[in-house]
Structure 1
Amino acid sequence: MKKSLIALAVLAAAGAASAQSSVTLFGIVDATVAYGRASGTGSANKWQLTNSGYNSSRLGFRGVEDLGGGMSASFWLEAGLSNDNGTGVATNLNNQATGAAGGSTGLVFNRRSTVSLAGGWGELRLGRDYTPQFWNLTVFDPFGTNGVGTTQTLNSIITGVTAVRASNTIGYFLPGNLGGFYGQAQYYLGENVRNGAATEKDGTGAGVRLGFANGPFNVALALSRTDYATGKVKQNNLGGQWDFGIAKAMAHYSFDSNGNVDGKGWLIGGLFPVGAGEIRAAYSRYKTDVAGSPRTNKIALGYVHNLSKRTAVYTTWARVKNQGGAAQALNGSSFGTGVVNQNSSGLDLGIRHSF
């Protein structure tokens, strides 16, 4: 829903924004009653009211100005919300462990904060954004990397801070008229002083994603590398889907590394339309090559019922099996080391409203 006047008032930039062709206030509020249960000595059960079980809760502002000749300028500011307790979600300043900032005291535009220039040649985008290496994990996951059903290729991933987003990015997106081919390239900066220290390149990296979508078919490959003094981090994946009409099949495969540790994972799943709703199902696995070969297998099953175009109710059940020293727990059911090599299950019940 477009609310130009409200958006301008909130941004307190009526003078600067008056030249915009359009300014939009948008968001999602998703509340989830979540239950987690882990087995074994030292494990625990937990009930909680949380958020983002179906879609990530957020509040955002975006605008675009037509520059003529097929050119446009735009901005996008999007903040994550913990609507169960009224707090914001933290961000990261420099793509390093030391860069965590904000979140609990108010809104932080952690999800996306970009300005763009676009034309027939594509789009140049600057700011904090999703990394190319994340897109295949979320697009080709029936649960969209949200809630208890999130693919284990993300929950167990070893690639750290830039697994999902990066700050200080310079990105380029191919135009949308290439006969089904699409792609992006991104370079991001750790912004450290170049003084010869071993850590001077920490948090600096690049990623690229190339894909092809035509009719029911969609496939994409993503490759990336981020530099740290402790070792280079590489996050790579290949994903695809096929829409059969009565169902949409999805799969992806990931091969990652963090210094001397390698991780591999895969997912297979699907979406099955049923009347006003949709059944979601997936099986995923992730393992690393450290001592014991820790690995986690996950099965997830869910249903979403659309009450309208903007409002939906949903439920998701998932269960993980840990082996080789893995200790993944669902919906906060961990207690100490009680979930090592144990099973854990979780249940989400929620409502999502978008505006």
Structure 2
Amino acid sequence: MKKSLIALAVLAAAGAASAQSSVTLFGVVDVGLQSVRADGSGSVLKMGTGLNSSSRLGFRGTEDLGGGMSASFWLEAGMNYDDGSGQAGPSLNNQAAGAANGGGLSFQRRSTVSLAGNFGELRLGRDYVPSFWNHTVFDPFGTVGSGAATNLRLKLGNSNGIQTTTRASNSIGYFLPGNLGGFYGQFMYAMGENNSNAANSSDGRYTGLRLGYANGPVNVAYSYGQTKVLARNDYKDQSIAGSYNFGSFTLMGQWGQEKLGNATGLGGFTKNSAWMLGGSVPVGAGEIKASYGRAKLDGAAGTPKGSQFAVGYVYNLSKRTAVYTTYSRVSNDAGVGAVFFTGLGASATGTSSSGLDIGLRHNF
């Protein structure tokens, strides 16, 4: 009898422990055909991945610590499901020289451990930078595929090899608690991990914040980030963006500006100012998405401008599976170089490019 009672007690304790913690395997498998055409440069038909939603494979878990506190982890790897490889690893120190690997499986999308409670959340590891969230949350295409607003919006930073336009390694992040009447916020500090005696001791150091308000149909936020880069006299990215859900459709808009003290990539321009207006309309089991944006570069070579128009449709076959198509066209105003040209590169001023995505996405 005593042995039976002891066994029941052990089983009960084990059940309670398992109820207080959980681990989940999750991911997105998104594969499609992408056709890219460029004036004077030909065309390419290829199979791509993450054209509607970024392909990934991940593990996440949470443990209830009691007293309203919890600990959690999140490991998320980017995947190239068109060929089965993992996406290239992250910059180990937020600098181009700190690249990790060329395509083996790595949790470069997110690798964090967190402690959360009534005070908010403290998060350590590799994560999205606060200054990136406005780009993706208020973009109908979620910054993926041919219609991504970042084709124009982050062109300056990406062309100059800035490693923190989207994520940062070695970061300390803090998120405000979710009970502030709709107000939310995120702060981050990330380290470049250089020797203090080095001339570039601050390189790779990122500081940023995002503050917003979401209540009912309204969501609006401001974000700012700065990365120390000695050779470029620092990189700065700021934006203000928002959305309003009218019920029958959702309207989105954003304005942003990125700056470099000096630049070599993208023709040596040092400032990129861009805006985008877009939205989505539910239609039966699907959704129509569209956006239009313009950008202007500033520098010694002049002020060239570019624009992008994108339209897409997603049809949900189930809660987890969808088919989609997106068409986008990037046009460069006649002037100083076709700097906003994407895909194959530009051969002349006033040129344009177009992209067409058709694919299948499954979430698990």
**1:153, 1:123 → 2: CA distance?**
33
Describe the SS at the equivalent of 2:230. coil
Describe the SS at the equivalent of 1:92. coil
**1:327, 1:349 → 2: CA distance?**
26
Residue 286 of structure 1, CA deviation? 2.1
Which deviates further from its counterpart, 166-175 or 221-230?
221-230
Describe the SS at the equivalent of 2:132. helix
Residue 339 of structure 1, CA deviation? 5.7
Pairing 1:312–2:313 present: no
**RMSD of aligned residue pairs (Cα, Å):** 1.6
Residue 155 of structure 1, CA deviation? 4.9
Unaligned runs of 5+ in 2: 1-16, 263-269
Residue deviations 1:271-326 (CA, integer Å, cap 9, x gap): 01100000000001222202132332100000000000000000000001113313
Of residues 115, 118, 121, the one that matches 1:120 is 118
Residue deviations 1:165-191 (CA, integer Å, cap 9, x gap): 000000000000000000000000000
Maintained 8 Å contact 1:184/1:208: yes
* Cross-structure match for 1:27: 27
Maintained 8 Å contact 2:136/2:143: yes
Correspondence list, 1:177-216, <5 A: 177-195=179-197, 197-216=198-217
Describe the SS at the equivalent of 2:163. helix
**1:155, 1:133 → 2: CA distance?**
11
Describe the SS at the equivalent of 2:164. helix
Pairing 1:333–2:344 present: yes
Q: In structure 1, what residue type is equivalent to 2:27?
A: G
Maintained 8 Å contact 1:321/1:344: yes
Pairing 1:303–2:313 present: yes
Correspondence list, 1:123-138, <5 A: 123-138=121-136
Unaligned runs of 5+ in 1: 1-16
Residue 154 of structure 1, CA deviation? 3.5
**1:309, 1:148 → 2: CA distance?**
24
**2:155, 2:243 → 1: CA distance?**
22
* Cross-structure match for 1:14: none
Pairing 1:352–2:364 present: no
TM-score, normalization by structure 1: 0.90
**1:18, 1:187 → 2: CA distance?**
34
* Cross-structure match for 2:4: none
Residue 342 of structure 1, CA deviation? 0.8
Which deviates further from its counterpart, 308-317 or 90-99?
90-99
Maintained 8 Å contact 2:338/2:347: no
Maintained 8 Å contact 1:153/1:267: no
**After TM superposition, which residue ranges in structure 1, 4 or more long, deviate above 6 angstroms?**
17-20
Q: In structure 1, what residue type is equivalent to 2:288?
A: I
Of residues 81, 84, 90, the one that matches 1:86 is 84
Residue 20 of structure 1, CA deviation? 6.8
TM-score, normalization by structure 2: 0.88
Correspondence list, 1:1-355, <5 A: 21-40=21-40, 43-90=41-88, 91-104=90-103, 106-151=104-149, 152-158=151-157, 160-195=162-197, 197-230=198-231, 231-260=233-262, 261-290=270-299, 291-323=301-333, 324-330=336-342, 332-334=343-345, 337-338=346-347, 340-355=349-364
Describe the SS at the equivalent of 2:134. helix
> % of aligned pairs identical?
56
Describe the SS at the equivalent of 1:182. strand
